[in-house]
Amino acid sequence: MAEEIKNTAPQNLKVTIDNITIDVPAGTTILNAARMIGGEVAPPAMCYYTHLKDSGGKCRTCLVEVSKGSEKDPRPMPKLIASCRTTVMDGMEVKNITSDKVLDARKGVVEFLLINHPLDCPVCDQAGECDLQDLSYEHGAVQTRYEFARRTFEREDIGPYIQLHMTRCILCYRCTYVADQLTDNRFHGILDRGDKSEISTYISKAIENDFSGSMIDVCPVGALTDRTYRFKNRVWFLKPMDAHRDCDKCCGKVTIWNRGDEVYRVTARKDQWGEVQTLPDGKPAWICNTCRFEKKHTDDWVIEGATKIDRHSVISQGHYVGTIAAPDPLEKVLQGRKPHLLLDIHDESEVNTPQVHLSEIEGPAVGKTFNGDPHASGHNVTDVKIGAGPNEKGTDSTNPNTP
């Protein structure tokens, strides 16, 4: 009996996205069907996250036009719909990049997302791997038309490792789903409504769960960042490498971001959509806080090889893979003699000095770190504030005049 149902129930549905037809199982969303096709057909998504249940439907960047509802009801859908929350129907025809209406709407959505987003990409640690940067670069308008004061908030520490820059938040709710679904006690959520809404921990509770660091991985912008990596370097100067270790809490499969022999930060492995990779057993490769924040030595890790980075990403800039270095002619020319004058760059240069190990200091470097005290680390002025609320004065976090 059960076998009979199994034979009849799951049926592949035919869906056409941007004139490309694909068979997908029933219950697949339009977004996932488009991702199966891949390439530019896949709509961008800022809030939808495959591994987080109920995510999606908030940011509206994945809007698509359904020009034919289904085989049985061929009428087009009256409005653009969010492809991450709409499942496909048999014979459905969807237009994404072939529809001017969609492209225009997406441009508007990006403009709305950027209304309150600060232009602090030069300071932000997410720059270079930020979904909002990519989105606004590909789909946004060049200039803003917004002339009013932007919404600003105090910077806040969520626990010792995670920093919340609420000013940069686009309210995608991904991190609250992480708190809900990955950690056992939900300590943070969204307070207030509308323009005033903000992500915060109730009663300044530090999130101590082992997987709380995953909210850094899911954050599409620089709102949640790694405090142990704060200001240490730009992502495109680091060398990402796949590595693993035996971890009793998580899968232990990570990407380590090195500069020389120093591990500046550890992140989960990301797939081509910027989401955490799926392991061969079908589980998402979330990593625990021990792996992420406490294993900052290359010796802690078994390195598998360089992470493949898309050629168009800024992270791949200046990373020369597979080059063959020319042989050093000095030895041959001097016939084994030592050169009289050889400039050791460390004698003169004050950058990358061998005394400073940025991976060993817990917070951001300060001026002193490079001027005599290599272990000095920046302290956060706004260490966990309760109900600091909207920052009306627009002051930044290191300003002593902030309340």
Partner 1 sequence: MQALTNKVEVVSRKPMTWWERMYLPAILKGMAITFSHIFKKNPTINYPEKTRPFSPVFRGLQILNRDEEGREKCTACGLCAVACPAEAITMEAAERQPGEEHLYKEEKYAAKYEINMLRCIFCGFCEEACPKDAVYLSETFAPSNFQRKGFIYGKDDLLIPHPVNEPEAFAKARGSRAKNPEGHGNEH
**Site residues, partner 1 (CB under 8 A):** 120-123, 127, 230-234, 236-237, 314, 317-318, 343, 345, 347-352, 356, 363-367, 369-371, 378-379, 381, 396-400
CA nearest neighbour of 157 among 104, 84, 94, 206: 206
Close Cβ partners of 50 (under 8 Å, ≥ 6 residues apart):
32, 273, 275, 278, 284
DSSP string, 305-369: EEPP--TTSGGGTT---S--PPPPSHHHHHTTPPPS----HHHH--SS-TT--GGGSSS---GGG
**Identity of the residue, 282 or 400, whose beta carbon is nearer to partner 1 in the bound complex:** 400
**Identity of the residue, 120 or 392, whose beta carbon is nearer to partner 1 in the bound complex:** 120
**Identity of the residue, 230 or 385, whose beta carbon is nearer to partner 1 in the bound complex:** 230
In DSSP terms, 276 is beta-bridged to 270
Minimum distance, C-beta of residue 398 to partner 1, in the bound complex (Å): 5
**Identity of the residue, 68 or 227, whose beta carbon is nearer to partner 1 in the bound complex:** 227
Minimum distance, C-beta of residue 321 to partner 1, in the bound complex (Å): 16
Minimum distance, C-beta of residue 5 to partner 1, in the bound complex (Å): 58
Minimum distance, C-beta of residue 24 to partner 1, in the bound complex (Å): 40
**Identity of the residue, 233 or 277, whose beta carbon is nearer to partner 1 in the bound complex:** 233
Close Cβ partners of 119 (under 8 Å, ≥ 6 residues apart):
none
Taking the CB of residue 331, how many other CB atoms lie within 10 A of it?
11
Three-class DSSP category at 95: strand
**Identity of the residue, 87 or 233, whose beta carbon is nearer to partner 1 in the bound complex:** 233
**Identity of the residue, 80 or 356, whose beta carbon is nearer to partner 1 in the bound complex:** 356
Q: Which long-range contacts (CB under 8 A, 24 or more apart) does 347-354 make?
A: 352/260
Minimum distance, C-beta of residue 122 to partner 1, in the bound complex (Å): 3
CA nearest neighbour of 224 among 149, 316, 130: 130
Minimum distance, C-beta of residue 105 to partner 1, in the bound complex (Å): 29
Summary count for the chain: helices (H), strands (E): 9, 14
**Identity of the residue, 17 or 114, whose beta carbon is nearer to partner 1 in the bound complex:** 114
* Residue listed under structure tokens 């370097």: 233
Minimum distance, C-beta of residue 251 to partner 1, in the bound complex (Å): 32
Minimum distance, C-beta of residue 209 to partner 1, in the bound complex (Å): 27
Tokens read off for 304: 């598998």
CA nearest neighbour of 132 among 57, 198, 59, 30: 59
CA distances from 98 to 67, 95, 285 (A): 11, 6, 34
Minimum distance, C-beta of residue 16 to partner 1, in the bound complex (Å): 41
Pairing type for strands 253-259 and 302-306 reads: unpaired
Minimum distance, C-beta of residue 222 to partner 1, in the bound complex (Å): 12
Terminal Cα distance for the chain, rounded: 68
**Identity of the residue, 19 or 349, whose beta carbon is nearer to partner 1 in the bound complex:** 349
**Identity of the residue, 211 or 229, whose beta carbon is nearer to partner 1 in the bound complex:** 229
What is the distance between the alpha carbons of residues 66 and 149, in angstroms, rounded to a whole number? 37
Tokens read off for 369: 């770190």
